[in-house]
Chain A
C-alpha cells in the first residue's frame, strides 16, 4: 500500500522559512496571507496489507528517521 507522511514543525517552534514565504506572498500581492508554516510531505510505497501493522511500522520510521521529534510532529495517512 501507499502511505503519506506529513512532517510539520511543532507549535511554538519558530519557522523562519515559513515567514520568508509569507513575506514573499505579501510582496506578490497576496496581503490576505497570515501565518505560514512550511513542512515536508513524504510518500512511501510499503509492502504490507494490514493497516494496523503498516501504521505501527510507519510510526517507527517517523520516530527513527523521518521526523525529528524535538521540533517536529508527524501525521501518517494510509492510501489503499
Chain B
C-alpha cells in the first residue's frame, strides 16, 4: 500500500501516522509538503492531525486551500481513499470532501485522553477488520471536535450509513461518552462512497501496547487488507 501524508505548517502528528502505516503495511509513506503542486501516485492519502496554519480563521480553513489540496480534492473525487484525522478531519470538512463541520467543544475545553468509540459498520475500507458494533478505545486531543451538520444532511447520512464512529461509554452507551458535544455523538464520518473517512480520534496513537492500547491498529490493517 503506497500512502502519502500531507504536511502543513503546524501539522504535528505526521510522524505518528506515518509510523502506524509503516508498521502495518511494511512501506513508509511519502511525506508531501502542502506547497507542492504535485502529489505522487498513491493508494491512500492521509491528512494528519496538528494545528495547520495555527488554526487561523477557522480550524482547517487555510489548509483546505493549500496548493497540494487542489490535487487531493481531485483525487478524492476520483475515488482515491483519504484518511483525515483530527485537524485533518477539520481540513477535509472545510474542503467539502466529507459533510459537516467541527465546532468548538461545547464545554470550551481542550479534551485530551482516551475515549470509547462504537464502530458503526465493518463494511468499509477503513473498518473491515472491526466488527460492527465493536467498542474500541483510542485517544482524542482537540478543542474543536464538536461535529455539526444540518438536519437534512444528517438524515441522509444516517440513511446511507455514512456515520463511521460514535463516542460512547465503555459499555457502548452513546449518551455516556460524548467528550465534546458532537451531534448524535458522531466521532467519524464517511463521504457518500465511503472512500473518505474523517475522524477526530487518533487511531495512530493506539497501535502499540506500551502506549496504552492497540485498538487503532485494525483501522490501518483494514486499509492494508482492502488496498494492498
Q: Which residue numbers of A lie inside 8 Å of B, CB to CB? A: 13-14, 16-17, 20, 64-66, 68, 70-71
Specify which chain B residues have a CB less than 8 angstroms from the CB of A17 in the assembled complex: 104, 108
Specify which chain A residues have a CB less than 8 angstroms from the CB of B93 in the assembled complex: 70
Chain B contributes a number of interface residues (CB within 8 A of A) equal to 19
Alpha-carbon distance between A40 and B65 when the two chains are bound, in angstroms: 20
Specify which chain A residues have a CB less than 8 angstroms from the CB of B107 in the assembled complex: 16
- A15 nearest CB across to chain B (Å): 9
How many contacts A-B (CB < 8 Å)?
Answer: 33
Specify which chain A residues have a CB less than 8 angstroms from the CB of B129 in the assembled complex: none
Known: A65-B57, A65-B61, A68-B94. A14 touches B100 (CB 8 A): no
- A18 nearest CB across to chain B (Å): 10
Q: Which residue numbers of B lie inside 8 Å of A, CB to CB? A: 57-58, 61, 65, 93-94, 100-101, 103-108, 146, 148-150, 181
Q: List 7 extra interface pairs beyond A14-B103, A68-B58, A70-B149, CB under 8 A.
A: A13-B148, A16-B105, A16-B106, A16-B107, A64-B65, A65-B65, A71-B103
Partner of A70, one of B100, B104, B105, B108: B100
Q: Return the chain B residue nearest A14 by Cβ.
A: B106
16 contacts between A and B (CB under 8 A): A14-B103, A14-B181, A16-B105, A16-B107, A16-B108, A17-B104, A17-B108, A64-B65, A65-B57, A68-B58, A68-B61, A68-B94, A68-B101, A70-B100, A70-B149, A71-B148
Alpha-carbon distance between A65 and B107 when the two chains are bound, in angstroms: 26
Specify which chain A residues have a CB less than 8 angstroms from the CB of B106 in the assembled complex: 14, 16
Interface of A is mostly: helix
Q: Return the chain A residue nearest B148 by Cβ.
A: A71
Partner of B101, one of A14, A20, A64, A71: A71
Tell which of A14, A17, A66 has the most Cβ of chain B within 10 Å. Answer: A14
- A10 nearest CB across to chain B (Å): 9
Alpha-carbon distance between A65 and B149 when the two chains are bound, in angstroms: 18
Alpha-carbon distance between A43 and B125 when the two chains are bound, in angstroms: 44
Q: Return the chain B residue nearest A40 by Cβ.
A: B57
Specify which chain A residues have a CB less than 8 angstroms from the CB of B57 in the assembled complex: 65-66
Specify which chain B residues have a CB less than 8 angstroms from the CB of A64 in the assembled complex: 65
Q: Return the chain A residue nearest B107 by Cβ.
A: A16
Alpha-carbon distance between A20 and B104 when the two chains are bound, in angstroms: 12
